[in-house]
Structure 1
Amino acid sequence: MADRDRDRGQQYQLYPQQQQQQRYEGGLKNILPQKGPTASQVIAIVTLLPVSGTLLALAGITLAGSLIGLAVATPVFLIFSPVLVPAAILIAGAVTAFLTSGAFGLTGLSSLSWVLNSFRQATGREPLDYAKRRVQEATAQVGDKTRQAGETIKAKGQEGGREAGPTVGAGAGRPA
């Protein structure tokens, strides 16, 4: 059995000789491109080289200027640090308070908008129309109750007048 495995291992090759010969027949010419760069590629490279070189030089000058400015400003920062640090803390606190105030205001407005929209969806009416209708209903209800109370008072007044008899006139209050 070991002989069979050994024989099979010798039979299989990773790259057979025929494929290797066919693959590299052309030599170096097949590996390199047949054509050179196009005119537009050459123009792009010619224009981009000076532009990129100029930008790289400007980046270097900016870095050098930043380092020189930092070297000059460091002693000034150290001398004025007792004033600058509290000022920076104060400014940071003011900015934080301003942004927090804006965030709270925005949250309040969005909450109010959400409540109004949910109210509109629940009632199917606008809140002002709903409030007007409720005020009109309440006014009509108060008017009805007032009219009923007036009628009740008038009815009781008429009943009381009949029982007591006529109080105004010529024989009122005299025995007959």
Structure 2
Amino acid sequence: MAEHYQQSYQTQHHTQQQPRSHQVVKAATAVTAGGSLLLLSCLIMAATVIALTIATPLFVIFSPVLVPAVITMALLTTGFIASGGFGVAAITVLSWIYRFVTGKHPPGEDQFDYARNKLASKAREMKDRVEQYGQQHTVTQQHQSS
């Protein structure tokens, strides 16, 4: 706490040590910069209101043409982007398959082999379970019929 008061005192003492002219120049600079930005903000707001006032009737007149045109352009753009993306994905997959088939070890081949082995082991496990269930089921039916 004492340190805070000491820093506050040093800050006040430092500002008091500056000549009065420096403080006046700093204040004048701050007022000039702030006022300029405020004036610029007001001019931009006025220009926006004027532009919107002029453009609104044009938007209303041309809206039967503009709205369908914007929707059409959005759909066309989306279609071209999706088509390009799927084309790149297809070429990537086909090149990966080609490298895999020709034995060139594409990236991710080890994960593919791991997944294939895991699926094969699960398939064998399910086959064994089905055979066990079938044997138990036939034994149960034989006991019920006798």
Structure with the greater alpha carbon radius of gyration: 1
Higher relative contact order (CA 8 A, sep 6+): 2
TM-score (norm 2): 0.47
Higher helix share: 2
TM-score (norm 1): 0.40
